[in-house]
């Protein structure tokens, strides 16, 4: 608590309250039930410590996307900060917090090889989709190919994605596929622009304003 008092006393700073990010609460609905209770126990201990020092905390900021719809279950929160839910991604779907039909962002890729009947190569790898692993569900693969349940995006190199195909498939060289990435946040950070599409028409382009702003 002494550190908080020192911070409050610093010129140019204003103490507004507590900020947490329970990003570890992913799993599935059953696992989240357990993890929310554990988070509440931790937050309860924190509140007791701050209360004992008579330090006010008018704002308690927290929450995440997988638990966005049960944010009222977190004790003491006055605001929530889910971010991925704006687009959703495969992590969110496999965490049982969304459906693929709720996905607002896909990466348009091109099939460049089908030389093996059980395998296809696309022109998008870790430099396009990001190499973030799946943190929910079966934790396998690097994205979901919309409309092609027989295809699994099994591996990534830097420039290419490796699809494994079970059963028959109508995929051919030159076909354009839509991939929902595992983690949309890191995927967007790899691109300069996002194209806004209505139906099959591009109606706008958005510059990724934070692109390269790492310094």
Nearest to 108 by CA among 166, 191, 26, 15: 191
Q: Over range 175-202, report the average pLDDT.
A: 95
- What pLDDT is recorded for position 2? 83
Full set of structural domains in the chain with CATH: 2-82 (no CATH), 103-207 (2.40.37.20)
What are phi and psi for residue 100, nearest 5 degrees? Answer: -60, -25
Nearest to 62 by CA among 92, 94, 24: 24
Q: Over range 193-207, report the average pLDDT.
A: 95
- What pLDDT is recorded for position 146? 96
- What pLDDT is recorded for position 110? 98
DSSP state of 4: H
Q: Over range 109-137, report the average pLDDT.
A: 94
Q: pLDDT tens-digit profile of 14-52?
A: 999 999 998 888 888 898 999 999 999 999 999 999 999
Could you please report the per-residue DSSP string of 78-125? SEE---GGGT--HHHHHTTS--GGG----EEEEEEEEEETTEEEES--
Compute the CA torsion angle 132, 138, 74, 105 (nearest 10 deg): 50
215 pLDDT above the threshold of 70: no
């Amino acid at each position: 608590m002494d550190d908080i008092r020192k911070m409050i006393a610093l010129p140019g700073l204003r103490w507004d309250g507590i900020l947490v990010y329970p990003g570890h609460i992913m799993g599935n609905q059953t696992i989240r039930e357990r993890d929310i209770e554990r988070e509440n126990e931790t937050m309860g201990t924190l509140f007791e410590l701050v209360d004992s020092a008579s330090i006010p905390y008018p704002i308690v900021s927290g929450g995440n996307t997988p638990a966005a719809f049960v944010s009222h279950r977190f004790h003491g929160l006055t605001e929530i900060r889910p971010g991925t839910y704006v687009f959703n991604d495969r992590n969110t779907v496999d965490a049982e917090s969304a459906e693929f039909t709720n996905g607002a962002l896909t990466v348009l890729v091109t099939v460049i090889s089908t030389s093996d009947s059980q395998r296809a190569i696309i022109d998008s790898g870790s430099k396009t989709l990001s190499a973030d692993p799946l943190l929910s569900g079966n934790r396998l693969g690097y994205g979901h190919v919309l409309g092609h349940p027989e295809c699994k995006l099994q591996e990534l190199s830097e420039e290419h994605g490796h699809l494994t195909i079970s059963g028959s498939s109508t995929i051919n060289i030159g076909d354009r596929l839509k991939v929902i990435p595992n983690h949309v946040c890191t995927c967007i950070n790899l691109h300069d622009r996002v194209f806004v599409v209505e139906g099959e028409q591009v109606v706008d382009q958005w510059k990724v304003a934070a692109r390269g702003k790492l310094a």
